[in-house]
Chains A and B, each alone.
Chain A
Amino acid sequence: MNIRTILLATTIVMGATTIANAQTLNWARAGDSLTLDPHAQNEGPTSALQHQISEPLIIRDMTGKIVPALATEWGPSETDPNVWWFKLREGVKFHNGAEFDSEDVVFSFNRAMSPDSNFKELLASVVEVRANGKYGFEIVTNGPNPIMPSNLTNIFIMDKDWAEANNAVKVQDVEGGEDTFASRNANGTGPYILVSREPDEKTVLRINENYWGKDEFPMEIKEIVYTPIQNQATRVAALLSGEVDFIQDVPVQDLERVAATDGLKVITAPQNRVIFFGLNQGDADLATDNIEGKNPLADIRVRQAINMAIDREAIKKVVMRGQSIPAGVIMPPFVNGWTAELDKVPETDIAKAKSLMEEAGYGDGFSIRLNCPNNRYINDEAICQAAVGMLAKIGIDVQLEALPKAQHFPLIGGLKTDFYMLGWGVPTYDSEYIFNFLVHTKGDKYGSWNGTRFSDPELDKKIQSLASETNLEKRNQTIAEIWDVVQKEILYIPIHHQVLNWGMSDKVETIVSPDDTPKFKYFKLNK
């Protein structure tokens, strides 16, 4: 046996193993799904895994467009404006073979609206859900809800009988100290079936041969092995060494290295997340500044000056290595209400900013504390450090306090910060979502993330009217009016839209979804 035969033999053996594994996708990202219970955690990685196994009535495809899943058609009722009707897909089976029908949908919606569900806010306007025959389903709201479908793209449907048989009727209830069967097992209708799962370790899925859309979608990946790898150097190393084929979060400093490696590529797209600073402009005096008895941020000229002093292009170039899109509004580009004009990046003008500070009576500047997370957004702490330098140029002496997210976010919720960084994604793709949480006066039901102390009863009324305004033209008009106020008052200082970088082997063919949620039924494999 000469060397050539040995080589040939090895090639054949290796070739055989590659073919056997060719349809397996090894997928890694920083975090694991927290639970398999479809209604317990409304959080990126958790929903991303669930989307492979279970399905909502309607989903967003990889471009972000709403497309049918378990419902084939839907629309507002012609007789009653408070009702949305859905026609359900017939002949769909759950992974255990049980038939899918309207009973499962009613059950799942009631489950998703229960107090322990993390999705109940998306369904807050729902009064009743009811079946209309075996394949009809209706949602009754407390007033007309024109954007109902966009709230449903993460409301997964469970099998009622399975949940009842396995004591999983209730959403897992951590406070009550309960552990449900559904947190560790899954029975969906989705394109992939759960084979095994060890939390934080490994989850294996295999293709659902009976999937209703088997012929409609590529479905070229036959097996998915999902491993969380939280250390970013290890995650990149695993991709470089070929142990994983697809990672969702390539650190910006490693982008070039991955892209330059043979057999690997990086694809990039704007993410559904905008990064900005919030300013306490409502309080009479600030706790974290050095001005007594007055709140410098309450003066619109100071806010204008800050807005002018932040050099977004410099942040993009130096901090983000080109991986960001400078923003002029706190709304991702695909959201209803977005216009290029709103998103026009404010010009950096230090001289003008300085004169504004002087006009406002702060020619000598002031000092203030900036609260910033250090493990939530891409390069979050570095962005804040850059801002400190930029604001120093107009005399604002910023003390940066960077904390882990678990300590940072309670400061915003508890109104314990006057100047803070926040990022916001819009799952409904509609401005109303932003207004409800960030612009409306802070109260029990609305404004829970509004740390600006801004309050305008007129504006609140407008925001609340959006929920039931069925005349879309009029509704969009109101949205534009509210944005006008937000922009004119400089409620927030927008910085940039985050950019997603997915790193993968050349064999994987996909586009980046703005929600950072791969739906593998759309993926193709190059042979």
Chain B
Amino acid sequence: MIAFAIRRIFQSIIVLLVVGLVAFAMFNFVGDPVDSMLGQERTDADVERVRTQLGLDKPFPVQYYRFLEGAIQGNFGISYRQGRPVSEMIAERLPATLELAFVSAFLAIIFGVTLGIFTAIYKKGWAANIIMTLSLIGVSLPTFLIGILLIYLFAVELSWLPSFGRGEVVDLGWWRTGFLTKSGLLAIILPAITLGLYQMTLIMRLVRSEMLEVLRQDYIRFARARGLKDRSIYFRHALKNTLVPVITVTGMQLGSIIAFAIITETVFQWPGVGLLFINSIRFVDIPVMAAYLMLISLMFVTINFIVDMLYFAIDPRVRLEKRGDEK
């Protein structure tokens, strides 16, 4: 077990390093930050001076090495755009993204599972058909369009919900939350729906097909023969067996919710790390882009690592295969 864990950690670190290298190789194509930094009145001499000071004249592996050197000491540098420490900026923005991701995931799971069960049980009913058709829209419409449509309907036409921002936030010292004010709760509804819609339809369709599968099994038929109530059959016997693959997929999707938040955050001016990243790309704010990409890849790597470890604990086959490898 420990050997397996160490090997996986080692692989994770290599993945992280490669992601960083690829990222730095691409920064050259994003543009030149010096122009944005110096403004219109810069002379050519200024441009040269700043480029040398920032080390932008060096080849990208050298830039990457310098970044790693700082990162190992916990120093991600200073943002070119705002002139503030990158770690501070990301720490400040992360709560907004995590709250949004949490609420979206929560909505996606609650509605996805409920609707999935519903459409599986009443698979021939008209309501189920409507839900299934609508879910196609959820999968096929691009996020920004859904966001704009929701804004026009609920903010402009009905004036029920705010069209942008996070509302009033309460500062808990290390975490700025929007959960404690009314405007904060209202503000999270539209972005959370926009971000979670895709995941919701995914979960719904997964639950539905798993449920249909399970309901065809013999033990369900025996349960019915025993005269058990429908509710007990559906929720105690069928649902439990449906959830194993659902949990796996949902866990993996959590990472992509945070990564996909970029578009939702831009549409709703949601002040999270995704919006920060978009702004950084426009400005070619290399320290922020590098830190964000490393953070996201670290997150994915960690989630994968945990999933692998869980499999290892749950599924004896993985262990056996590993032993087979070692021989």
A-to-B contact residues, CB < 8 Å: 34-35, 37, 40-43, 118-119, 121-122, 172-180, 183-184, 198-202, 227-231, 233-235, 237-238, 240-243, 375, 403-407, 409-410, 413, 424-425, 437, 442-446, 448-449
Contact = CB atoms under 8 A, between A and B. Distances in A.
Given A229-B269, A406-B32, A200 B41 contact: no
A200 B265 CA distance: 12
B42 interface: yes
A405 B80 CA distance: 16
Contacts of B156: 237, 240-241
B39 A174 contact: no
A43 B151 CA distance: 31
Nearest to B85: A179
Interface size grouping (class) on chain B: 35 or more
Contacts of B54: 174-175
Nearest to A410: B32
Contact of B165 (A184, A202, A445): A202
B250 interface: no
Interface string B14-50: 0000000000000001111111111111111101001
B152 A237 contact: yes
Interface stretch (B218-226, B229-237, B279-287, B295-303): B279-287
Given A172-B83, A179-B85, A200-B275, A406 B163 contact: no
Contacts of B283: 406
Nearest to B44: A448
Nearest to B39: A42
The 8 A-B residue pairs with the shortest CB-CB distance, nearest first, are A406-B31, A175-B53, A121-B41, A410-B32, A201-B271, A407-B31, A42-B39, A172-B83
B78 A178 contact: yes
B309 interface: no
Given A198-B271, A201-B271, 14 more contacts: A34-B83, A35-B82, A119-B41, A173-B83, A180-B83, A198-B92, A200-B276, A230-B279, A234-B148, A237-B152, A404-B31, A406-B31, A444-B44, A449-B40
Interface string B78-104: 111111110011001000000000000
Nearest to B158: A241
Q: Specify which of B31, B41, B89, B279 lies most central, judged by the most chain A CB atoms within 10 Å of its CB.
A: B41
A179 B83 contact: yes
Contact of A443 (B39, B44, B77, B148): B44
A121 B43 contact: yes
Given A176-B53, A200-B271, A118 B39 contact: yes
Contacts of B45: 444-445
Nearest to A409: B35
A231 B43 contact: no
B81 to A, nearest CB: 6
Contacts of B164: 227, 229, 234-235, 237-238, 243
B198 interface: no
Contacts of B88: 179
A289 B228 CA distance: 82
Contacts of B282: 375, 404-406
A448 B85 contact: no
28 contacts: A40-B83, A121-B41, A122-B41, A174-B78, A175-B54, A179-B78, A179-B83, A179-B88, A201-B166, A233-B148, A237-B156, A241-B163, A242-B159, A403-B31, A404-B31, A405-B36, A406-B30, A406-B35, A406-B282, A407-B31, A410-B31, A413-B44, A437-B40, A443-B44, A444-B43, A445-B43, A448-B43, A449-B40
Nearest to A172: B83
Contact of A179 (B43, B44, B84, B266): B84
Contacts of A176: 53
A237 B151 contact: yes
Interface in B110-155: 144, 148, 151-152, 155
Contacts of A202: 165
Max chain A Cβ within 10 angstroms of own Cβ: one of B85, B88, B156: B156
B269 A35 contact: no
B76 to A, nearest CB: 10
Contacts of B47: 413, 448
Contacts of A238: 155, 163-164
Interface of B is mostly: helix
Nearest to B52: A175
Most A-side CB within 10 Å, residue of B83, B148, B151, B267: B83
Nearest to B51: A175
Nearest to A244: B164
Which of A234, A443, A445 has most chain B Cβ within 10 Å?
A234
A34 B77 contact: no
B78 A228 contact: no
A35 B83 CA distance: 7
Given A174-B80, A237-B163, A243-B162, A118 B41 contact: yes
Nearest to A37: B83
A1 B254 CA distance: 51
B83 A183 contact: yes
Contacts of B33: 406
Contacts of A43: 39
Nearest to A414: B32
Given A176-B53, A241-B159, A231 B44 contact: no
B268 interface: yes
Contacts of A201: 165-166, 271
B163 A243 contact: yes
A203 B80 CA distance: 21
Contact of B268 (A35, A174, A234): A234
Interface in B286-314: none
A407 B30 contact: yes
A23 to B, nearest CB: 19
A14 to B, nearest CB: 13
A254 to B, nearest CB: 12
Contacts of A449: 40
Contacts of A184: 84
A195 to B, nearest CB: 14
A198 B166 CA distance: 12
A41 B271 CA distance: 22
Nearest to A375: B282
Contacts of A228: 269
